Each structure stands twice: as C-alpha cells, then as structure tokens.
Amino acid sequence: MGVVHTIINPPEKASTCLWKFAMIYTLCELKGREFEDTACEYLLSLGYRIVKRNFHCRVGEIDIIAIDGETLVFVEVKGSSSNNFGDPAERISKRKMDRIIKCIESYISSNTTESIRIDLVIVRGKDIEHIKGVEL
C-alpha cells in the first residue's frame, strides 16, 4: 500500500543538525507526495488521464502531466495541512513558474502536441481548488 520507512536514532552530536534537516526534508517530501496523490485522484475523477508524475528536467520538475480531452495539461500541486506557513497558493513564485516553463519546453521538444495548458491544484486539508489555464 505505502512505503515503509524506518526511523533510526540520530548519529553523534557533530552531525545532529544535518540529521534533523534530512528527517524534516524527508517528511516534507512524503507530505508533498500525499498532496500529489490527492491531486491525481481528483484529476482522475474528472476524467483526466495521467501521463507522467514528477517529470524531471535540467532545471526542475513538473508534478503531474495529464491529458484532458485533447489537451496536454501540466499540473503544479501545492498543499498544506494547516495555514501555519501561509496559503499554499502563495508559495508559487515567478522563479518556480519560469522553471516549470523550461520543463514544459523540454517535455514538448520530444513529445509533440497541439494544445497545452498549465493548471494549478491546491490541496488545503480535505479541500481541493483547481485553477485551469494559469496565465503566466
């Protein structure tokens, strides 16, 4: 069903800070994957077909690549279980969008298509907001 992770005891004091950082990073990565899973389930319920998840290019990644009818859709997923760090939608910077565009260009260079769109799926706890056709 899911990935089983073993929690180990932290190493000696000299590298405790690095160990804590690695554990926090891993927990954030797992939470991000949960938000992406939720977004995929949501998109599938709308009739989208998931083509690829976590497409990596030289400068970044695209969370989900899907097909909606005849349109190839590149989906950025942001999520949060609480508002302690602000709204997840506010965490999409110009720099992030520039990286997404470069990844889209990389993907399209080897996968031709007529119509593309960029969507944003924001997961806030159990609520999902889907913004279609994000303008850059």
Q: Quick one: how far is CA 38 from the chain centroid?
A: 11
Q: In this predicted model, what pLDDT tens digit does every residue of 43-60 receive, in sequence order?
A: 999 999 999 999 999 988
**Residue 77, domain member (yes or no):** yes
Contact call for residues 54 and 61 (beta carbons, < 8 A)? yes
3-state helix vs strand vs coil in the chain, percent to 5? 40, 30, 30
Say if residues 119 and 130 touch (Cβ distance below 8 Å). Answer: yes
- Residue 48 CA to residue 67 CA, distance in Å, equals 5
The total number of structural domains in the chain stands at: 1
Of the two residues 60 and 83, the one the predictor is more confident about is 60
pTM above 0.85, yes or no: no
Whether residue 27 is predicted with pLDDT greater than 50 in this model: the reply is no
Q: Say which CATH number the domain at 109 has.
A: 3.40.1350.10
Q: Is the pLDDT of residue 94 over 70?
A: yes
Q: Domain limits at 66?
A: 13-131
Q: Which helix (H) or strand (E) holds 10?
A: none
Beta partners for residue 80, in sequence order: 124
